[in-house]
Copies of this chain bind each other. A is one copy, B any other.
Amino acid sequence: MSLNELELIGRLTPSLATNASVVTGAGDDCAVLDLGLPGKVLLFKTDAVVEGVHFTAETPPEKIGHKALARCFSDIAAMGGTPSSVLITLGLPDGFDAARVEQIYAGMNALARRYDVAIAGGETTRNPGQLLLSVAAIGTVPKDGCIRRAGAKPGDAIFVTGELGGSLAGKHLDFEPRVAEANWLREHFPPHAMIDLSDGLAGDLRHLLHAGGVGAELLARAIPVSRAAKLAARDHPDAKPALLAALTDGEDFELLFTTASQQAVRLLDAWKARFPDVRLSCIGKVQTGTEVVLRDATGCRPFPQHGYVHFT
């Protein structure tokens, strides 16, 4: 996202129309709406993928569909919620390839069925320049269990699921959204704050900390660096060092959350029993102030500022 886009959003957001149903508007992973569902609030999210920005002409079409839908599921998971229905807006370039679009839908249908989510319709429109898929998703979460970006408390332990960095080598197209993990966390170890990693750990951690008005100290050796990031750093002389890739690459689609440090050990044990194939790492702790530092063998240094920048 260019700085201009961020500035634009900053200018548009304060004046958006609102009403009594809005619990949380722009600025979290999903909008949270109270429409009178007994015991629950509605989660509402849109997310678009565009050819040349989020995928290329060479991307296997089923994976484009998977990615488009899974990104929205990941945002709903980040609030502790469960996706329920989606609508698909398909922007078709002139001379589009119908068979490719059908394969994209096959990828979406396969993921939707596994999560018992309905593709309840949508629309097609001409988008002369390139293929665009926009997903609008609805989900629900128990009213007293909705987890926001804000809420991290000084002393909290900071956790991240999975392994980070190098997602563009493949994971960004076939990642599993952490819906089961997020719902289990909400039920058993309610996070104080949570976000999904789309822009990279460095950027998204700052979003989470900024929302809570707190800072953090991270342990360099605790950051779970992906095999893809390590291989890239080893094999490509121009590649980022693996740790930097884990901190700043985008599209990890893992969960980043904080919880009371007293339950950290119990959480790690229970997690290992429940999700033996998904790594969970305690990577640092929340502090007062707004500084974010990275501690390694040589001491503390400032944490990288920037997250993900789109690859085109």
Q: Would you call B48 and A134 a contact (CB within 8 A)?
A: yes
Cβ of A231 within 8 Å of any chain B Cβ, yes or no, is: no
Cβ of A195 within 8 Å of any chain B Cβ, yes or no, is: no
Q: Would you call B136 and A87 a contact (CB within 8 A)?
A: yes
Taking CB atoms and an 8 Å cut-off, the chain A residues in 18-67 that contact chain B are 18-19, 21-22, 25-28, 30-31, 33, 35-38, 40, 42, 44-50, 52-54
Contact of A127 among B1, B50, B118 (CB under 8 A): B50
Among A8-16, A144-152, A161-169, A298-306, the stretch that binds chain B is A8-16
Give the complex CA separation of A121 and B149 in angstroms.
Answer: 15
The size bracket of the interface on A is 35 or more
18 contacts between A and B (CB under 8 A): A4-B98, A8-B98, A8-B101, A15-B109, A16-B109, A17-B112, A22-B120, A25-B120, A26-B120, A26-B122, A31-B87, A31-B120, A33-B118, A35-B37, A44-B87, A48-B123, A50-B125, A138-B138
Q: Which residues of chain B come closer than 8 Å to A46, judged between CB atoms?
A: 87-89, 122-123, 134, 136
- Specify which of A16, A27, A124, A140 lies most central, judged by the most chain B CB atoms within 10 Å of its CB: A16
Q: Which residue of B lies closest to A47 (CB)?
A: B123
Q: Would you call B53 and A126 a contact (CB within 8 A)?
A: yes
Q: Which residues of chain B come closer than 8 Å to A88, judged between CB atoms?
A: 46
Q: Would you call A98 and B136 a contact (CB within 8 A)?
A: no
Q: Closest CB of chain B to A208's CB: distance in Å?
A: 17
Q: Which residues of chain B come closer than 8 Å to A126, judged between CB atoms?
A: 50, 53, 310
Q: Closest CB of chain B to A200's CB: distance in Å?
A: 17
Interface string of A183-211 (1 = CB under 8 A from B): 00000000000000000000000000000
Knowing A17-B119, A119-B16, the reply to whether A33 touches B109 (Cβ < 8 A) is no
Contact of A134 among B33, B35, B89 (CB under 8 A): B89
Q: Would you call A117 and B19 a contact (CB within 8 A)?
A: yes
Q: Would you call A17 and B125 a contact (CB within 8 A)?
A: no
Instruction: Give the number of times this chain occurs in the complex, counting copies.
Output: 2
Q: Which residues of chain B come closer than 8 Å to A123, judged between CB atoms?
A: 46-48
Knowing A17-B109, A119-B18, A136-B44, the reply to whether A124 touches B33 (Cβ < 8 A) is no
Cβ of A129 within 8 Å of any chain B Cβ, yes or no, is: yes
Cβ of A5 within 8 Å of any chain B Cβ, yes or no, is: yes
Q: Which residue of B lies closest to A32 (CB)?
A: B120
Cβ of A102 within 8 Å of any chain B Cβ, yes or no, is: yes
